Amino acid sequence: MTIEIEQNIMVPMRDGVRLATDVYKPAREGRWPVLLTRLPYNKDLRFPVPGFEQKRVFLELDMDVERVVEAGYVIVAQDTRGRYASEGDFSAFQHEEMDGADTIAWAANQPWSDGNVGMYGVSYQALTQWQAASEQPEALRAIAPAQAPRGTMYPYQGGAFHLHVAFEWTVTQGVTGDVARQVQLGQAPQADLDEIVQAEQKLATLYQRLPLTNQPLIEGRAPYYFDWLAHPTFDAYWQALIPDHFYERITVPALIVAGWYDFFQRDDLAHYQGVKQQAGSDLARQHSRIVIGPWGHGGFLWGLPERQYEEQGAAIKMLTDLQLRWFDHWLKGIDNGVEREKPVKIFVMGINHWREEEEWPLPDTHYRPYYLHSGGHANTLNGDGLLSLEQAGDESEDVYRYNPHHPVPTMGGALMMEEVGPRDQRQVEEREDVLCYTTPPLEQPVEVTGPVELVLYVSSSALDTDFTGKLVDVHPDGRAENLTDGILRARYRESLSAPVLMEPGRIYELHIELGATSNVFLTGHRIRLEVSSSNFPRFDRNTNTGGIIASKDEQALVEATNHIHHDAAHPSHLILPIIER
């Protein structure tokens, strides 16, 4: 069919700032429901007009635009405040509540609109949905946020800084977009943009810079990045951006799309549980849904290097179908069974099968402890330990040295773009600072679906250090594929808001969240846990001094000798959510 496109309509916000907005609608007379997406990544690149070939900024999945318009919808795409063709100043994650609500009101009152508005989109575009919905705009009927942070991009996990994601996003999306706009407006020379673009090719080198605040490339260009670093604890700064009662302001149903290898996975699960338990209307509580697939962030790629699921086109078609049915019901009032479907849809890896469930976590989950054993070797330096359902007896601890000058390199996992997803971990596991605890080959399949937790009894020579855990599926040929991982900066063992340093040599009990997964470990496979003290550059390095790691005064790197205790008095164990059906 023919799509009619109106570009760069300048829509006024309540404070007079105008935001550039494109409209894609059927080329015929009529009124249709509206699907709105608001993005800071340049709507022209995201939705290239026919005959104007440009590569998308992200390999993101929204929906098949032509199919959606053909199905009788108007798509409205808007550059957020201060980005590309829009007026105003860009401040990451700010202004989205009011700007979103104002744009919804504008869209609902256009001559091609029937007054019903939905929102959709990935990542930042998903955050703009939650923010706009919290304003409870009258015309908003439903949202479909995919891979969204909570309130803002909280770049910490277990007290460790999400260096790879936070810095890459700041450079490639935050700073590049701002400088490109300044060049376009004649406010900056092309050389400034060229410098940023060239720097994008050298991110691996920039990650190495210490202290973390030593990044002149973005200094003065991305103040929010330095604000993030200035607040390593969950203090009043973060509490204001991620309010406790946020979900009480959500009154429309949400179709949440998450990924097993997405760094916002924890946020998406929190969104789902938040709206199901706390939303401000029965409609939102009863009818919100979540879909969790085998995807990384932004790009819904099913053809991951180590595990081939399906082609990306299959994911786009499936989720377009899913979202069209969602909006057909909530915006058009079509009785298509959406209200009667189970609210949880998950992709179970290993057997590569979609399954619908009644709740998350699954109600028939058995949380089973798998205990760490030394495998008969005291003070193991390179880790050949056992993972077993049997509790430990009298065993000596395992010991390794963590040198922040030579951190354990990140290998796949919840990263950005091409590095994302499952990777063979054998090269990492050869290091002396990575301990491996592995079950014998499985005699029957074991399904692990749900949140994974690691309980470690540790001691260290340092005042502060990190402890990491990684769940791995070991294939019969030895290939070791990562499923999910986590980290805890020891000073935050009691609270993310009130850090307490360690006493060298003292044993502490740590609880490390390893995220969630769904995987069937097949017969002949083995379940493996990796334990270490770094995962770089996914997370920043702990300097082991007890100082403020991002501080300009914190440049010393101290080696730490770390102990993992697993005896009767200190039963270190991995808690796996087992499904037996």
Positions marked active-site: 123, 262, 297
Cα–Cα distances in angstroms (integers) from residue 528 to residues 108, 487, 494, in the given order: 53, 17, 27
In 220-352, beta strands by DSSP E: 255-261, 289-296, 344-348
What is the identity of the amino acid at 239? Answer: Q
What is the identity of the amino acid at 91? Answer: S
Name the DSSP letter for residue 2. -
Which uninterrupted H or E stretch holds 333?
Answer: none
Rounded CA-CA distance 137/80 in Å is: 18
- DSSP lists the bridge partners of residue 570 as 567
In 139-244, beta strands by DSSP E: 140-146, 156-157, 160-161
Name the DSSP letter for residue 246. G
Rounded CA-CA distance 193/172 in Å is: 11
Name the DSSP letter for residue 567. B
Q: Report which of 492, 469, 486, 487 is spatially closest to residue 546, judged by C-alpha positions.
A: 492
**Residues in CB range of 147: below 8 A, 6 or more apart:** 122, 123, 126, 257, 258, 259, 262, 264, 265, 268, 297, 298
What is the identity of the amino acid at 563? Answer: H
Rounded CA-CA distance 293/146 in Å is: 11
